[in-house]
Amino acid sequence: MDNDTPLIYGLEFQTRALSAQTAETDIVRFLVGTQSLKFTNNQVHLVELNEETNGLNTQVFQHPIGEIWSLQASPTESSLFITCCNSLNDEGTCQMKGALWKLPEIKEYTNDSIQLEMLAEIDTTKYGTDLKTIAYHPMDGTKAISVVDNRFALWDLANSRPQVIVSGILSGKNLPRFTNGKWNPHNGCNQFVTLDENNIQGWDLRAPSDPSWIISSAHSQIIRDLDFNVNRQYFLSTCGDDGYMKFWDIRVPNEPVLSRMEHSHWVWNIRINRFHDQLVLTSSSDSRVILYSIVSISSEPYGHIVSPEDDNGQGDEICQKDKLEDGVVERYEEHEDSVYAVEWSSADPWTFASLSYDGRLVINKVPRKYKYRIIL
């Protein structure tokens, strides 16, 4: 994939669940989950970028227990992942549930649909019915947190029967409910951050009875997603139904550090690049994916350090040549339906995938001209 031409992969069923194969750091791979109305028809697709042929290798796996609403790959083992799915219970009614899966070893890609191995069911029904996500610990594949109704629970996945270690509850008027949640990767990963309507709350898992901090009314409408800058301790990003993406310093919760509105409809996903944190992606119901340069609050806001070998012995200094500025780098319009998910590759910092509801997966690269401005 030496050029900027996108690669498109079409799925038979509707989709909204996408994850990079996080533990795979050598090969660009993504996992996609389907939402077929016939529960037993649902699938997980493994999509691999073949750098030699500039094509895609794909393998389909059966996911017979229901339509997949979210999917997350293990941070430590490339063969493991978790799904949150809507399935039929014994009474014949729909019920959200979680499950831990293992991919079989793939020696070669085939057109056959292969059965997945379910390692364990993650039974969250004790905490409610509206399961939003089950989020892996950023560095420990034996721990994950479920977000259901107004409860979150930390699970130990080490045994065949996952057990809850600790849980927290959201209280307040009008029975508020969580809409999403994500681990804070800083400070030993002892904090989990939740969204409820348009509020953001940080919870210390060592004492989860009350939130450690709150950003109230962060957006004017529902917040759909959040992401952390892994290179800056207190900075996180949010996006929502008001069309905005916002960046926050949790030490100063009164107002965002930066706010931009580039989409014309709800913004479903926001992702900050782990390696080059000035690069930010958003996806929206307006069928667009937007790549931004948000260099002003990145970990290298003024450029890169020039070594003595590069500057004729004048000492380390900041390179100001062709200084990057905040703004839109590229708008991607390969999708024709709502783009519910976008993810950076864990193997290549310049590659990302986006997924729309009509079953279209698109793999793109950061434009070369912009890439060179970052690394040169």
Nearest one of 41, 51, 39, 43 to 7, comparing CA atoms: 51
- C-beta separation of 265 from 284 below 8 A: yes
Q: Domains of the chain, with CATH numbers?
A: 8-298+321-375 (2.130.10.10)
| Dihedral sign, Cα of residue 243, residue 268, residue 147, residue 347 | negative
**Residue in this structure with the two tokens 């991607």, named with its chain if needed:** 332
Give phi and psi for 371, each to the nearest 5: -60, -45
With a cut of 80, say whether residue 303 has pLDDT above it. no
- What average pLDDT does the structure give for the chain? 91
Write out pLDDT tens, residues 80-129.
999 999 987 767 788 899 999 999 998 899 999 999 999 999 999 999 99
113: its two tokens: 């649909």
Distance CA 198, CA 219 (A): 5
- Average pLDDT score over residue span 126-152: 95
Residue 43: φ, ψ to 5° = -140, 160
> pLDDT tens-digit profile of 39-93?
889 999 999 999 889 899 999 999 999 999 999 999 999 999 999 999 877 677 8
**Which whole-number Å values give the CA distances from 59 to 13, 70, 111, 115, in the listed order?**
15, 19, 7, 11
Longest Cα–Cα distance of the chain, Å, equals 76
User: Tens of pLDDT along 214-271?
Assistant: 999 999 999 999 999 999 999 999 999 999 999 999 999 999 999 999 999 999 999 9
Nearest to 350 by CA among 366, 363, 364: 366
Q: What is the mean pLDDT of residues 201-211?
A: 94
**Residue 2 predicted with pLDDT over 80:** no
CA distance 240 to 223: 4
Backbone dihedral region of 108: left (phi > 0), alpha (psi from -120 to 50 degrees) or beta?
beta
Spell out the residues 6+ positions from residue 259 whose beta carbon is closer than 8 angstroms to its own. Answer: 244, 245, 246, 247
CA distance 68 to 96: 10
pLDDT at 240: 97
How do residues 309-350 score in pLDDT, each as one tens digit? Answer: 444 444 444 444 456 789 999 999 999 999 999 999 999 999
